[in-house]
Amino acid sequence: MTPAQHGMWLTERAGLGGPVHHLPLRVRFAGPLDTDALLAACAAVVARHPALTAAFPDGRALYGAARPAIRLAQDPDADPDDEAAQPFDVESGPLARFTLYRRGEEDHLLQVVAHHLVFDGVSKDLLLADLAQAYGGADLPAAAAPPEAPEAESPAEVPAEVPAEVLAADRPAAEGGLERAARFWESRWRDDPTLLPGHGSSSPRPTRADAVTLDLGDLRDAAQALEVTRFEALVTALILVLHGYGNDRPAVAVDVSTRTPETDDAIGHHANELPVFVTPEGTYRETAAAVRAELRAAYRHRQVPVPRAVGGISPRSALKPVTVSFRERGRPEPVFPGVEAEVDWAVPTGWIRGSLHVQVVDELARLHAGPGVRGDEVAARLRAVLRADPDLPIVALPLPARLTPAALDGPADGAVDGAVDSELVAKVTEIFREALQVGDIQPDDDLFDLGGHSLTVTTIIGLVKERLAEELSFEVFIDTPTVTGVAGEIARTRC
């Protein structure tokens, strides 16, 4: 399992995943579709890409653990949205499924849903390209057998560790990559709250979301005028809008690919998330140049998950409440002989990883806003900034009015009702010291402020199970990541 996959696996265990990690893909077929041939083509794609048969028991990646379901839906009125939301079991798999819906004699819909642990945006292109090829009668290249795995008739019969050559490119590219990433991010990382219209402050946790179409008709012209790429222009405009709302040090998290020539044709999770921290200064053009420089500096560390490089980041589904996914496919549409095929490359799941998500695939653009966030207002502000003169000073741009942070009520993080047995606190303190490799820990010290990260949580859970015979959930480390909080949870389970 790669570090990025391990972090995602932990968020699933912590209850911060679910539909937010589902990646649906839909193809509408018009014409005389050969359903048997299409279902056979789905099976050929699964055989070609072992990642689709993976599972992750106890945080270990196993190929061939479970074969995805490939089926023809029996109910003609079945709702693909319901099927797309059905949960995956990341421990036992399967982590993908193929469902063909018959809507009419010459009207069919194929839905593929895969978990992000084994899939990414480029995987959608690869899957449909292979599917079209197999449907047309061509043989797909054989999948490489996992190293040191015995021969088998089907991938589902021989679980094996993930092949090193498949995942090597997703690890730090060279010795010292983690250390270099740590030096880069330690001076940049900050966890300031993000102000959004209608919401006060926001959260980097999964939430239901409503999608609105985002008009980016001015994006290409803005990018040319600012002398940056379309992606850089979009991130710049979003950072400026966040700055207008009163975020003096705005930040967004962007999805990036970690693919290399070795993984260009492999379905799987070859992606990471990078935060972009830029404080707008000077003119619109100067801010765009700063965003461009920051993005390109961050790209050098794209193989290393930021929580692995920087301590103090609690488990979360997104690094920042505001996220951006931008993909220019650059590939031809798949061709299925004898039928017309229309692909929806960005099927909304109704969930996002934070409070606001901007999604762009080629010319399709959507803004997904969580409860209470006025997505239509953000969309309008983005359009206004994209149309602005690039040489205007920041203060002259059509930015929104500043928001006032909402007051937060409730107990402090880590608070636990009642006293906890001192002997139990001492045992948990020793476990924290061992996992963190530090000497002085106070009962209410935050695990993540002490440099802990997802692997530290895994270590503590293992030590608690070994020494105290108790099973801890990941949720306790989200709500109360302290010695007192963990000891209190153990005490409650023993009552």
469 has pLDDT over 50: yes
pLDDT at 322: 97
151 has pLDDT over 70: no
Distance CA 474, CA 414 (A): 14
The tens digit of pLDDT for each residue in 156-199 reads 332 333 334 434 444 444 446 889 999 999 999 998 889 999 87
Question: Which ranges constitute the DSSP H helices of 304-421?
Answer: 306-309, 375-386
Strand partners, 27: 110, 343
Mean pLDDT of the chain: 87
Query: Under DSSP, is residue 244 helix (H, G, I), strand (E, B) or coil?
Result: helix
Question: Which ranges constitute the DSSP H helices of 277-421?
Answer: 284-299, 306-309, 375-386
Task: Using CB atoms within 10 Å of the CB of residue 365, give its burial: 0 to 12 exposed, 13 to 18 middle, 19+ buried.
Answer: buried
Query: Under DSSP, is residue 214 helix (H, G, I), strand (E, B) or coil?
Result: coil
Question: Which ranges constitute the DSSP H helices of 187-226?
Answer: 219-226
Confidence of residue 45 (pLDDT cuts 50, 70, 90): very high
The tens digit of pLDDT for each residue in 191-228 reads 888 999 987 557 778 889 999 999 999 999 999 999 99
Query: Under DSSP, is residue 172 helix (H, G, I), strand (E, B) or coil?
Result: coil
pLDDT at 412: 41
The tens digit of pLDDT for each residue in 425-461 reads 889 999 999 998 888 888 888 888 888 877 788 889 8
Give the pLDDT mean for 237-251. 97
Pick the residue with more confidence: 330 or 302? 302
CB-hemisphere CA count at 13 Å for 119? 23
Class of domain 3-148: alpha beta
Distance CA 421, CA 392 (A): 62
Distance CA 46, CA 88 (A): 17
The tens digit of pLDDT for each residue in 387-439 reads 999 999 999 999 999 998 764 334 444 444 456 788 898 899 999 999 988 88
Percent of the chain with pLDDT over 70: 90
Lowest mean pLDDT among 14-18, 277-281, 457-461: 14-18
pLDDT at 293: 97
150 has pLDDT over 80: no
pTM for this one?
Answer: 0.81
Lowest mean pLDDT among 101-105, 381-385, 472-476: 472-476
Q: Report domain extents, the chain.
A: 3-148, 177-396, 422-494
Class of domain 177-396: alpha beta
**CATH code matching the domain that covers 422-494, chosen among 2.60.120.200, 3.40.640.10, 1.20.1290.10, 1.10.1200.10:** 1.10.1200.10
The tens digit of pLDDT for each residue in 253-267 reads 999 999 988 888 999
Q: What does the DSSP 8-state code read for residue 55?
A: B
Distance CA 275, CA 200 (A): 21
3-148 and 177-396: same fold?
yes
Distance CA 472, CA 460 (A): 9
